[in-house]
C-alpha cells in the first residue's frame, strides 16, 4: 500500500491575498472619491459665490459700490468653502448670452443680467502636464433688479 501525499496547506495565504487586493482596489477608489469631492467643492463654491455676488450687486446704491460689494461677497463665499479667491473671475452678461458683455450689469429698475463666477482649479495629485490646469467651473446667477427701486 502506498502512502498518499497531502497537498501543501495554504495556511493563511487567503488573508494575505485579501489584504493585498483590498489595498490595491481601495487606494484608487479612495483617490477617485477625494477627486470627486474636490470638483464638487469647487462647483458648490462658485455657485454660492455667484448667488451672493448677484444679491450684493442688485442691492447696492450705485454701480461703483455694486462692483465692490459683489467682489467682496464673491471672495467671502469662496473662503467660506475653504478656497482662495485668487485667480477667480467675476463677470457679467445678458441673461442666456454668457458672461462676456461687461456693460450688461446695471442698476436700472426691472433690469435682468447674469453674474458669473469662473474658477480654474487643480485636481489633487494630477501633474499639471496631464490636466494642464484647464479644470474650470462656472457658477451663474440671474439678477433681477427690483422694479420699484428708486432711480436716484
pLDDT reading at 19 higher than 60:
yes
**Looking at residue 8, what is its pLDDT?**
67
Would you give the distance in Å from CA 54 to the centre of its chain?
17
Alpha-carbon distance 122 to 125, whole Å?
9
35, three cell numbers? 477627486
User: Binning pLDDT at 50, 70 and 90, where does residue 66 land?
Assistant: very high
22, three cell numbers? 483590498
Task: Give tens-digit pLDDT for 74-123.
Answer: 999 999 999 999 989 999 988 887 777 666 788 888 889 999 999 998 88
Task: Give tens-digit pLDDT for 28-64.
Answer: 899 889 989 999 999 999 999 999 999 999 999 888 8
**Looking at residue 100, what is its pLDDT?**
72
Q: Which runs of E-coded beta strand occur in the chain? A: 89-93, 112-121, 135-144
Amino acid at each position: 500500500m502506498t502512502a498518499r501525499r497531502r497537498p501543501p496547506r495554504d495556511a493563511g495565504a487567503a488573508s494575505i491575498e485579501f489584504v493585498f487586493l483590498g489595498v490595491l482596489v481601495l487606494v484608487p477608489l479612495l483617490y477617485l472619491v477625494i477627486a470627486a469631492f474636490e470638483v464638487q467643492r469647487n462647483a458648490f463654491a462658485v455657485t454660492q459665490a455667484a448667488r451672493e455676488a448677484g444679491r450684493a450687486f442688485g442691492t447696492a446704491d450705485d454701480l461703483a459700490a455694486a462692483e465692490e460689494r459683489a467682489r467682496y461677497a464673491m471672495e467671502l463665499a469662496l473662503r467660506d468653502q475653504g478656497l482662495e479667491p485668487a485667480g477667480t473671475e467675476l463677470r457679467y452678461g445678458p441673461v442666456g448670452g454668457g458672461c462676456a458683455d461687461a456693460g450688461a450689469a446695471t442698476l436700472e429698475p426691472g433690469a435682468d443680467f447674469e453674474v458669473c463666477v469662473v474658477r480654474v482649479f487643480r485636481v489633487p495629485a494630477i501633474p499639471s502636464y496631464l490636466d494642464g490646469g484647464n479644470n474650470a467651473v462656472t457658477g451663474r446667477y440671474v439678477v433681477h433688479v427690483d422694479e420699484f427701486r428708486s432711480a436716484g
